[in-house]
Structure 1
């Protein structure tokens, strides 16, 4: 139906829908609803009076209707979207994007979670989010097999039983039972990890990657509570990624970055780092937990990712491991082009 044939009820619904997305003036509403192509034409005074009457009527019908001070005055209908600070909206968008990246998601609840997060966002950016997530379900990850069980165990307070293949371990699947205190996303690769008290073998706080679990089951006949003594800030204080106090004794690794990488290091954003000096070269100290072998296992791949643009200065054990990795790479691949 053409706009000029709308009934009053249709106009009120259209105005209410616009005001739920954000504040608008009378002129902005007229242009947004295509009631006029210009506010300078001869028909504008009549349109303005009609819209003002509609707004007065809507104020009587809608409890959350608000007139905001200013020139010209703005109108809105308060909702969870119109009252969000822009940074709050950005946080919700980031949560939706994280859900997308972690959802191989042929399951209905993955799509439903994305849709619910999208509903919190302003209408103008909602379509972009939906289009960006249109391929959910076309990817595969073993993490998807563990996510539902881990979420259920965590939210209901029941232990999670599973078999786990630890990297660098015996190569055998080991049974574990975990009272989950927190499910954490890795700050670099966004993989999900369960942090909690392992009761069957370690009897200590441990971190387990969801995608390394198999044969999962929730134990509904047993319950637990998350102790007040568990503080994620303390647990992750020495973590480079997600391996915190459950790992070995933390160590400090000193690194020197070449000029072409220095500016990227100085941009910051890396955990537990301290800049020692910077000129053309940048030297930093990084604090990271170690594994059973005494190496900061989470930190090593990050160091290697810089290639020849970084040098490990100390401790000697980490420098030796770094050099051995580089020599092994050269021995395996470097002789083919000589």
Structure 2
């Protein structure tokens, strides 16, 4: 980053954060603290009203606002593709706002940049595999949950787990404090504190029914930040597989979310899956037919054999 770009970026950072230390700015822009001191001095001499508070950092004088900034072609394309993504993946409220944002961005672009941006966008496309990326029911729930998160209100819903618990139950009613929403491999997940489990749990919106807003309030823990949140890794069961070379590329392209390790060897593609329960990957392994062999654990080999025998009985 050259000096001119860095000076502009510093002003934008101060405008965004209100206060920043020289050390933090130096880390952000990968330069020395001494260079940041010189940059602040240059900005002050250029008329930017920067206030320095010993032991606290730098801030912009209240009321100062940077004039509108022109976008490069690459920046404009990035923003416009972002609006396309939001239209496909988010609820109705955000879809409308994405359309409005796209119109405003295109309106402020100089004609030359707008034309070049249009030309570049014609070479890019977000595909949804011929189906709605987010079904209408999930869009409705997405909007309700998003509003509940912002209002800090609890919600309740009926939930169907993929696998039954130790008592053979798959369905339950949950009351939760919604902390955030995450888009994982095309599916929306709710991260929430569950009153039933007394801990943070994850829920797929596609498995919810009868979602209701509650009057009960909650307070988001001060230490919780979804951007830094890492769920505990409770996948301790390892499954080793070997696939025939003929389907190796297809297997790798599936990008299966339980996949932990792959290696091409002379006898085929070796893979390790990490799961909570073996039943989680039973259908996926069976879907590859005779082109896959379970190497371990032995209990899973027996489970596959049992399932194949059941299939044979039907034919």
Q: CA deviation at 1:130?
A: 10
C-alpha RMSD of matched pairs (Å) = 4.1
Q: Give the aligned partner of residue 182 of structure 2.
A: 184
1:144–1:211 CA contact under 8 A, matched in 2: no
Q: Give the aligned partner of residue 152 of structure 2.
A: 157
Question: 1:131 & 1:267 partners in 2: Cα distance?
Answer: 18
Q: Give the aligned partner of residue 6 of structure 1.
A: none
Q: CA deviation at 1:110?
A: 5.4
Q: CA deviation at 1:273?
A: 1.8
Question: 1:262 & 1:177 partners in 2: Cα distance?
Answer: 43
Q: Give the aligned partner of residue 214 of structure 2.
A: 219
Question: 2:289 & 2:102 partners in 1: Cα distance?
Answer: 40
Q: Give the aligned partner of residue 282 of structure 1.
A: 269
Q: CA deviation at 1:274?
A: 1.7
Question: 2:266 & 2:215 partners in 1: Cα distance?
Answer: 59
Q: CA deviation at 1:179?
A: 2.1
Question: 2:272 & 2:297 partners in 1: Cα distance?
Answer: 11
Q: Give the aligned partner of residue 298 of structure 2.
A: 316
Name the CA shift for 1:131/1:317 in 2 (closer, same or farther; >3 Å). closer
Question: 1:286 & 1:203 partners in 2: Cα distance?
Answer: 29
Alignment partner of 1:306 is 2:288:
yes
Question: 1:130 & 1:263 partners in 2: Cα distance?
Answer: 24
1:251–1:296 CA contact under 8 A, matched in 2: no
For 1:134-283, what aligned pairs fall within 5 Å after superposition?
141-169=136-164, 173-187=171-185, 190-199=186-195, 201-226=196-221, 228=223, 235-236=230-231, 245=233, 249-265=235-251, 269-271=255-257, 272-276=259-263, 278-283=265-270
Matched residue of 2:174: which SS?
strand
Matched residue of 1:211: which SS?
helix
Question: 2:296 & 2:127 partners in 1: Cα distance?
Answer: 44
Q: Which runs of 5+ in 2 are unaligned?
A: 1-67, 107-116
Name the structure where strand makes up a greater proportion of residues: 2
Name the CA shift for 1:229/1:191 in 2 (closer, same or farther; >3 Å). closer
Q: Give the aligned partner of residue 81 of structure 2.
A: 93
Question: 1:80 & 1:127 partners in 2: Cα distance?
Answer: 19
Q: CA deviation at 1:154?
A: 2.4
Out of 82, 99, 109, which is 1:115 matched to?
Answer: 99
How many residue pairs align between the two structures?
A: 232
Name the CA shift for 1:137/1:308 in 2 (closer, same or farther; >3 Å). closer
1:159–1:224 CA contact under 8 A, matched in 2: no
Name the CA shift for 1:226/1:313 in 2 (closer, same or farther; >3 Å). farther
Name the CA shift for 1:182/1:263 in 2 (closer, same or farther; >3 Å). same
1:118–1:129 CA contact under 8 A, matched in 2: no
Q: CA deviation at 1:254?
A: 0.4
Q: CA deviation at 1:229?
A: 5.9
2:154–2:216 CA contact under 8 A, matched in 1: no
Question: 1:317 & 1:255 partners in 2: Cα distance?
Answer: 13
Name the CA shift for 1:213/1:302 in 2 (closer, same or farther; >3 Å). same
Q: Give the aligned partner of residue 75 of structure 2.
A: 84
Name the CA shift for 1:277/1:123 in 2 (closer, same or farther; >3 Å). closer
Q: CA deviation at 1:178?
A: 1.6
Matched residue of 2:118: which SS?
coil
Larger Rg: 1
